Amino acid sequence: MNKALLYKNRLWLLIFISAIVRLLIAALTELGNDEVYYINYALYPDLSHFDHPPMTGWIIQLFSLNLLFDSELFIRLGAVVIGSLNTWAIYLIGKTIKDETTGWYAALLYSASFYTFVISGIFMMPDAPQTFFWLLTLLLFVRAVKAGHNNPSVSGMILMAGVTGGLALMSKYTSIFLFTGAGLYFLIFDRQWLKKWQVYAAILIALLIFSPVILWNIRYDFISFSFHSERVELVKTILRPDLFAIELGGQIFYNNPFVFGLVLAGIIAFFRNRFGDHKPETRILLTIALPVILIFLGFSLFRRTLPHWTGPAYMTLIPLAALYLRNITAKGRNGEIIPPVVRGALGFLSLVLVVALLQISQGWFLNKGINPETGKRLGIKDITLDMYGWRQLRKGFETTYQIDTASGRMRKDAVIIQQRWFPAANIDYYVARPLEIQLLTLADIERTHKYAWITQHRGSFNPGMDAYYFSSSYDFSDPNGLYKDYFVRIEGPEKIPVYRNNVLVMYHYVWRMQGLMTVPPDKLTGKDILSGKR
């Protein structure tokens, strides 16, 4: 068997095994806060949305057959398929840079990263489509700069990069770094590219693809852009080394400490001129990736950031790490299937996944539960409860709802009202929609996000309506402090227990809010913005 066919067979096996693992996780775990929220992008499609461009919703619509199948598996199916395609794409990038072995190592390292294997490979979030179009654009850039600006074939590559880069922008705003990174490469290392009309045509193509998002933001006073600018604006003057440490630690963990170490070694090797035969390809990887990492590390010195924001940048540097590994591993030159450091990375990923799944389903490691009298947790906060217990909530609430509406205690058209996009989205997916109850939000648009639009679409509020309000011991809020001026009467709460492995881990609380009085227009979750009024 020739070398190329051997590596392709290995790659297909890797893709198959990783896809099966991700499919099982996708099917057997409840959706997280972000995932249930993005279902609304598919339920209520638009040119763009408050938080992100529309691509995530389109992917959900495509793979769920427009939500004909809306289980966790089908909501996440797009991410699983994309993760498999990405494994192939990053193999092609590594192969383009040097050879099949480099491509194989890149595919292995991609499969060992928590960001690429789980966050963008299982969870249905904007990162899933972004990573796909990002890698396609990166592959085109790498092939183009390797061929050189004088090669006639690069014209088509650059124009196609405008298409894929535009689709990446339709997935997530940080995809702009693809274009700024390529521009840095052209400006610093090869200015002859700036004489090619295709470079400017590619930018125009990307802007045309992205134009629906721009038009939507013009209509709503650029609300999405201002929201994201406020998330990273350096408004604090006091250095926060603790936040910097959290961001750096998160980057190391999200990308797998073994992979992070290889990426760092690859960067050092580049600056020591160890990749002299592959300068154009490695240079463009760095000009795209390093600005993203450095910018968000800089932001973290002043305010809180999220480590997965730099995920595409570390993914960009995986081929660089693979090239470093290819060059220093003597056995790798002889075709060793999985080098020891990669085995360590895959082993670490597997260990953490097993521990996380056991914690989500059984609570083996943080399962001290709560005090049944006070509802306060025993031990440290268990973030895995974000993805557990929602079906128990629905089962517990269904009986209450049926008795209330049958007895006349609550109107038959009673709604659910929440004051924040999460857990509103969880309650909407797991409780309200199965029971055919409308869920609305009543708060500032900064807290409700797309639910401001959804509330208007669902008919908004009517005087006299009844509503339920949900909270939990995990993330408690009291409607008496929020809505006492809006309702004639607020009763409750009733407790709905959530058990995991026979241990009480959470209470959900349900209040009855009866007789909605007139709601001031400025309290209707951004009504002035939605109506276009200034």
- The residue ranking higher by pLDDT, 234 or 29, is 29
Contact 273, 327 (CB under 8 A): no
pLDDT at 526 over 60: no
Average pLDDT, the chain: 92
Identify the pLDDT of residue 1. 62
For residue 332, what pLDDT is reported? 52
Q: For residue 84, which amino acid is it?
A: S
Predicted confidence (pLDDT) at residue 312 exceeds the cutoff of 70? yes
DSSP letter, residue 277: G
- Which helix (DSSP H) or strand (DSSP E) does residue 160 occupy? helix 154-169
Please give the pLDDT value at position 335.
Answer: 56
Residue 529 has pLDDT above 70, yes or no: no
Q: Average pLDDT for residues 252-279, to the nearest whole number?
A: 95
Query: Which residues, in sequence order, are CB contacts of 242 under 8 Å at separation 6+?
Result: none
Q: Region 58-81: what's the mean pLDDT?
A: 97
Residue 492 banded pLDDT, cuts 50, 70, 90: confident
- φ, ψ for residue 264, nearest 5 deg: -65, -40
Alpha-carbon distance 495 to 375, whole Å? 10
Mean pLDDT of 160-173: 98
* pLDDT for position 382: 85
Q: What is the predicted pLDDT for the residue at 331?
A: 53
pLDDT at site 533: 43
Question: pLDDT tens digits, residue range 284-305?
Answer: 999 999 999 999 999 999 988 9
**What's residue 60's pLDDT?**
98
Q: How far apart are CA 363 and CA 385, in angstroms?
A: 9
Terminus-to-terminus CA distance in the chain, angstroms?
A: 69
Residue 225, pLDDT score:
85
pLDDT surpasses 90 at 414:
yes
User: With 80 as the cut, is the pLDDT of residue 528 above it?
Assistant: no
Q: Averaged over 110-118, what is the pLDDT?
A: 98
- pLDDT tens across 203-244, in order? 999 999 999 999 999 999 899 988 877 766 555 568 889 999
Q: How confident is the model at residue 177 (pLDDT cuts 50, 70, 90)?
A: very high
User: Measuring CA to CA, how many Å separate 167 from each of 54, 237, 509?
Assistant: 10, 37, 42
Q: Report the distance separating Cα 300 and Cα 234, nearest Å.
A: 9
424 — pLDDT class (breaks 50, 70, 90): very high
What pLDDT, on a 0 to 100 scale, did the predictor assign at position 531?
Answer: 42
The confidence score (pLDDT) of residue 6 equals 85
d(CA 525, CA 519): 11
Confidence check: pLDDT of 359 > 80: yes
Instruction: Count the helix, strand and coil residues of the chain and give each as a percent rounded to the nearest 5.
Output: 65, 10, 30
Does residue 105 have a pLDDT over 80?
yes
Secondary structure, 3-state, 75-111: HHHHHHHHHHHHHHHHHHHHHHHCCHHHHHHHHHHHH
With a cut of 80, say whether residue 25 has pLDDT above it: yes
Burial label, 295 (beta-carbon count in 10 A; 0-12, 13-18, 19+): middle
pLDDT at 330 over 80: no
Q: What is the pLDDT of residue 24?
A: 97
